[in-house]
Amino acid sequence: MVREMIISGLTMDPQTNTPIVVLKDPDSETSLPIWIGLLEATAIATELEKVEFSRPMTHDLIKNLMGHLGAKVEKVEVCDLRDNTFYAWIYLNVNGKETRIDARPSDALAIALRADARIYVDEKVIEKSGKLDSTPKVEVKDEEAKKWTDILENLSPEDFGKYKM
């Protein structure tokens, strides 16, 4: 059984300075934090903030390739959690046939945002992830973590204007 979720935000782990994407069930207080890479966090943040680049970034390229090949992203699913590693599927419809592709959750989420696809989490992942009564309350104590949190939370198109993409 799967549960539909939304991306409720991004934060930083103060101990490891690693970005965390937080998925939340809009109908309950259940949430799922997933630790991701900085580049993937940036890809998610820029899409959430609707930052547009003059050239396609990696996840935009993937979405464009799929579109040109006649594939439509139907949904993504965080499907498993093994040895502290999350797993995901990207479900595609290709010429009326559904197929799925193995992906890291961060990439699946970045593509789902660009494709306006729904996000699901398998109930077993929620169970395995432990106590998920509410969105994690991350208190930023480390100055470096605060710096990255501020950067991710305050991204704007102007910030990227000086970088040629």
Query: What is the number of domains present in the chain?
Result: 1
Is the Cα dihedral 119, 21, 131, 138 positive or negative? negative
Q: Are 44 and 21 in contact (CB under 8 A)?
A: yes
The CATH number of the domain where 51 resides is what?
Answer: 3.10.690.10
Q: What residue spans of 78-122 are helical by DSSP H?
A: 105-115
Is 163 within the bounds of a domain? no
In a domain, 138, yes or no: yes
Q: Say what the pLDDT of residue 28 is.
A: 92
Report if residue 112 sits inside a domain: yes
Residue 89's pLDDT is 98
78-85: long-range contacts, CB 8 A cutoff, minimum separation 24: 78/23, 78/32, 78/34, 78/105, 78/108, 78/119, 78/120, 78/121, 78/122, 78/125, 79/122, 79/125, 80/122, 80/124, 80/125, 81/124, 81/125, 81/128, 81/129
pLDDT value, residue 130: 79
Structure confidence at residue 135 (pLDDT): 39
The answer to whether 68 and 86 are in contact (CB under 8 A) is no
Report if residue 61 sits inside a domain: yes
Q: Give domain status of residue 162, yes or no.
A: no
| Inside any domain, residue 126 | yes
- The C-alpha atoms of residue 156 and residue 80 are separated, in whole angstroms, by 33
Tens digit of each residue's pLDDT, the chain (165 residues): 999 999 999 999 988 899 999 999 999 989 999 999 999 999 999 999 999 899 999 999 999 999 999 999 999 999 999 998 999 999 999 999 999 999 999 999 999 999 999 999 999 999 999 743 333 444 444 565 556 566 655 655 555 444 443
Residue 159 lies in a domain: no
Structural domain harbouring 108? 2-153
Q: Evaluate whether residue 110 is within a structural domain.
A: yes
pTM: 0.78
